[in-house]
């Protein structure tokens, strides 16, 4: 098997009022290979977050399929697929909705590790390594999520996603709310984990400089359809679509005006 995630003909429509449906995603096809980072970029409202939720199996596509290691992601929660569940992790944009505020950091970190064949000492070491890598003090373990700031919660959510040695992480604007030093720390950690464990990433970001730094391949969405796809160097050096050129231009403009 060459692909880890296979997206085939995925469309998604939202129902509007009076029986209308509005197409959000239109016939998407792409793959993510082991150890690969695929960035998904596009203007606001073009369907990136909707796609992330469908890829992670949090909602079904209207038509088409998303298979992770051959299993439809919407069926990953089923009992027979439970061992695959910790393999595919998602980092959401908003840590306030993605973490249970009453859970301790220790309990949050335990969940992705339950299925891993590690002894208690190895699990403790993995948790403390992740906290350290994300500049969260060891005392964090006994505290509850609501006791942390937004930036700290986001780092806890990132530690949770990585602690169980996932094969695939879907990161939706995972670092956009972090300050520059925390951003650099997280991006380096993701690259390091990729080198060490062969982690694959679906990386959704509006920040084209970060995309250029992180991704092997870029997929450009416009109005719910793929308008360009290719190796990162090629897409940035020679964008074929006006949408891609506009995204790159906008980012350059931003950088010269900080």
In the complex, the residues that contact ligand ATP under the rule CB under 6 A are 14, 24, 42, 44-50
Cα 138 → chain centroid: 25
Which is nearer to ligand ATP, 46 or 152 (by Cβ)?
46
Q: How far is the CB of 250 from ligand ATP (least distance, A)?
A: 13
By beta-carbon proximity to ligand ATP, the closer residue of 73 and 194 is: 73
Comparison of 48 and 243: residue with beta carbon closer to ligand ATP: 48
- Candidates 197, 206, 153; CA nearest to 176 is 206
Query: Could you tell me the smallest distance in angstroms from the CB atom of residue 115 to ligand ATP?
Result: 30
**Least Å from the CB of residue 80 to ligand ATP:** 30
Edge-first strand listing for the sheet containing 200-204: 88-91, 168-172, 200-204, 37-41, 217-222, 225-231
Nearer of residues 89 and 93 to ligand ATP, judged by Cβ: 93
Between 42 and 239, whose beta carbon lies closer to ligand ATP?
42
Q: SS3 for the chain, per residue?
A: CCCCEEEEEEEEEEECHHHCEEEEEEEEEEEECCCCEEEEECCCCCCHHHHHHHHCCCCCCCEEEEEECCEEHHHCCCHHHHHHHHHEEEECCCHHHHCCCCCEHHHHHHHHHCCCCCCHHHHHHHHHHHHHHCCCCHHHHHCEHHHCCHHHHHHHHHHHHHHCCCCEEEEECCCCCCCHHHHHHHHHHHHHHHHHHCCEEEEECCCHHHHHHHCCEEEEEECCEEEEEEEHHHHHHCCCCHHHHHHHHHHHHHHHCC
CB of 137 to ligand ATP, least distance (A): 32
Minimum CB separation of residue 251 from ligand ATP in Å reads: 14
Residue 43 Cβ vs ligand ATP, minimum distance, rounded to whole Å = 7
Instruction: Tell me how far, at minimum, the Cβ of 31 lies from ligand ATP, in Å.
Output: 21
């Amino acid at each position: 098997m060459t692909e880890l995630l296979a997206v085939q003909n995925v469309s998604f429509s939202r129902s509007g009022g009076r029986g209308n449906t509005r197409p959000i995603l239109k016939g998407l096809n792409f793959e993510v290979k082991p150890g690969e980072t695929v960035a998904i970029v596009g203007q606001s409202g073009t369907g990136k977050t909707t796609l992330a939720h469908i890829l992670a199996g949090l909602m079904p596509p209207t038509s088409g399929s998303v298979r992770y290691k051959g299993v439809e992601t919407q069926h990953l929660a089923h009992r027979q697929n439970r061992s695959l569940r910790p393999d595919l992790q998602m980092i959401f944009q908003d840590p306030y909705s993605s973490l249970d505020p009453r859970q301790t950091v220790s309990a949050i970190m335990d969940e992705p590790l339950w299925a891993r064949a590690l002894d208690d000492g190895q699990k403790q070491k993995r948790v403390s390594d992740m906290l350290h890598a994300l500049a969260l003090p060891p005392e964090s373990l006994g505290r509850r999520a609501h006791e942390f700031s937004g930036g700290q919660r986001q780092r806890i959510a990132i530690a949770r996603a990585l602690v169980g040695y996932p094969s695939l992480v879907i990161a939706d604007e995972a670092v956009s709310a972090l300050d520059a030093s925390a951003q650099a720390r997280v991006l380096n950690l993701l690259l390091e984990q990729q080198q060490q464990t062969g982690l694959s990433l679906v990386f959704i970001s509006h920040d084209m400089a970060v995309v250029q730094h992180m991704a092997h391949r870029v997929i450009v969405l416009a109005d719910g359809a793929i308008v360009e796809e290719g190796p990162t160097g090629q897409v940035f050096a020679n964008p074929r679509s006006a949408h891609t050129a506009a995204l790159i231009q906008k980012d350059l403009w931003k950088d010269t005006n900080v």
